[in-house]
Amino acid sequence: MSFCIAIDGPAAAGKGTISKAVAAHFGFAHLDTGLLYRAVGAKTFEGLSPIEAAEGLAAEDLSRDDLRSGDAGQAASRVAAIPEVRSALVDFQQAFARREGGAVLDGRDIGTVICPDAEVKLYVTASDEVRAERRQKELTGKGEDVSVEEVLADLRERDERDAARATAPLKPAEDAVVIDTTEMSIEEAVAKVIALIEARRG
């Protein structure tokens, strides 16, 4: 039986961490769809056009070491605004969502475009400042020398581009439950989401 959980939201709001924890709790498969766009963006550094990179994307491209860098994040946001790139990646995501045994997908347009019929739709958000602090800790932990102010400017630029794009803009689905993690620990956020999903599953 398939059961799809769609988790959307801006960068560093906690959706990835929550998604992994929820998938582990229920024994569901997990797909960070942002990695698809990061992988396409990273492949453009090698001279491929975004559309070529998307159409030729392979599973092993999702395990590249450079996908979590700031450069890959900016490249992902740029290529994600190209309708042909999004179209090339839709089938992959939709097939994953309906696999047997359940699936959790996190991204920016899962509940609105990829899986509008998902059994559970969540939109995870947090204040810009808290998201910037979280992302800066993550990046400095990986050896990148960036200030909170630089990360905040980068996040706001990505948010604006993602929300303004004509195809699949970043926004909550009309029937999504909004989870604001600004004042929550990750444990509290995960517990809240698990309780919500269990209520939906009956």
27 is in an annotated binding site: no
CB contact at 8 A, 105 and 31: yes
Element at 190 (helix H, strand E): helix 186-201
Indicate the Cα dihedral angle 110, 49, 83, 55, nearest 10°. -60
9 is known to lie in a ligand binding site: yes
Is 80 assigned to a binding site?
no
14 is an annotated ligand-binding site residue: yes
Angle between helices 70-79 and 148-164 in degrees, nearest 10: 10
User: In what helix (H) or strand (E) does residue 131 lie, and over which residues does it extend?
Assistant: helix 128-141
70 has binding-site annotation = no
Q: Has 202 been labeled as part of a binding site?
A: no
Residue 47 assigned to a binding site: no
Binding residues: 9-17
Binding residues for ATP: 9-17
